[in-house]
């Protein structure tokens, strides 16, 4: 039975998992959850994901939540091609780069955070955009320094094959572009991004290629 991915075309967390599935050549069924209509909070979906977030992955009886945990699950159940290096220090580096995106940038800029700023803290579009761009610049500045100053960076974030850090990076850059963030200060990061999006596995995972894209 094919795996089922609860996803939303614009969700960068779901985008990470779509890339990982494609890189590993795993066929899956996409089950769209419309975040702007609030479907993530409906009981119908909450029974699949009590956290009320996408993505969630169903693999037979197993339900796996949180994009990082899902990617690690795929890595353990479908080891080839690997998305993590063979050495412990390399794996720690790739996880640190991934978490820099998933923990330090993304939560500050996701849908419910932005909605809260607008609804409860009275921010308008200008305020929201300033907040968004600030945290992208801060986080990507740290990402760029990590790529520049820690060993392992090559064609991709770590080595010459795409891996877990690239799965995290590319969706974050798509989001940053959508919010017209200035990406010129991050040439190493954008070089990696360019090499990723030249690959079919990344292109097929893009928001515009999803069945629920509108
Ligand atoms: N840490 C979670 C983040 C999941 C997340 O924030 N998903 C967003 C879409 S990118 C979502 O479902 N948002 C719904 C909401 O904010 O109500 C993961 O990596 O899976």
Ligand 1 pocket mutation pick from 33, 53, 64, 178 by most atoms within 8 angstroms of CB? 53
pLDDT of res. 97: 98
Q: What is the pTM of this model?
A: 0.97
pLDDT of res. 109: 94
Residue of minimum CA distance from atom 17 in ligand 1: 112
Distance (angstroms) between ligand 1 centre and the Cα of 140 equals: 19
Distance (angstroms) between ligand 1 centre and the Cα of 154 equals: 30
**N-terminal to C-terminal alpha carbon distance within the chain:** 28
pLDDT of res. 211: 96
Residue 33 near residue 39, CB atoms below 8 Å: yes
Residue 117, ligand 1, Cβ within 6 A: no
Tell me the pLDDT of the chain (214 aa) as tens digits. 899 999 999 999 999 999 999 999 999 999 999 999 999 999 999 988 899 999 999 999 999 999 999 999 999 999 999 999 999 999 999 999 999 999 999 999 998 999 999 999 999 999 999 999 999 999 999 999 999 999 999 999 999 999 999 999 999 999 999 999 999 999 999 999 999 999 999 999 999 999 999 7
Residue of minimum CA distance from atom 11 in ligand 1: 53
Determine the atom of ligand 1 nearest the C-alpha atom of 12: 10
Residue 20, ligand 1, Cβ within 6 A: no
Distance (angstroms) between ligand 1 centre and the Cα of 149 equals: 30
Q: Which helix (H) or strand (E) holds 65?
A: strand 62-65
Residue 57 near residue 5, CB atoms below 8 Å: yes
Q: Which helix (H) or strand (E) holds 154?
A: none
> Which tokens belong to 209?
């290629």
Half-sphere exposure of 151 (CA within 13 A, CB side): 2
pLDDT of res. 110: 92
Nearest residue to 50 via CA among 62, 63, 68, 37: 63
């Amino acid at each position: 039975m094919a795996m089922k991915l609860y996803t939303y075309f614009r969700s960068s967390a779901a985008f990470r998992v779509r890339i990982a599935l494609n890189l590993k050549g795993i066929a899956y069924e996409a089950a769209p959850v419309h975040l702007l209509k609030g479907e993530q909070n409906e009981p119908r979906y909450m029974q699949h994901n009590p956290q009320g977030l996408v993505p969630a992955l169903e693999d037979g009886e197993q339900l796996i939540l949180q994009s990082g945990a899902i990617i690690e699950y795929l890595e353990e159940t479908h080891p080839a091609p690997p998305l993590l290096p063979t050495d412990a220090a390399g794996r720690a580096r790739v996880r640190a780069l991934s978490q820099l995106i998933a923990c330090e940038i993304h939560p500050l800029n996701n849908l419910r955070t932005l909605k809260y700023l607008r609804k409860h803290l009275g921010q308008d579009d200008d305020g929201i955009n300033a907040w968004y761009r600030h945290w992208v610049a801060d986080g990507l500045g740290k990402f760029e320094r990590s790529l520049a100053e820690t060993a392992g960076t090559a064609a991709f974030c770590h080595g010459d094959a795409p891996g877990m850090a690239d799965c995290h990076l590319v969706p974050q850059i798509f989001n940053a572009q959508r919010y017209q963030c200035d990406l010129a200060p991050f040439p190493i990061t954008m070089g990696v991004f360019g090499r990723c999006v030249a690959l079919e596995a990344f292109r097929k995972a893009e928001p515009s290629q999803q069945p629920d894209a509108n």
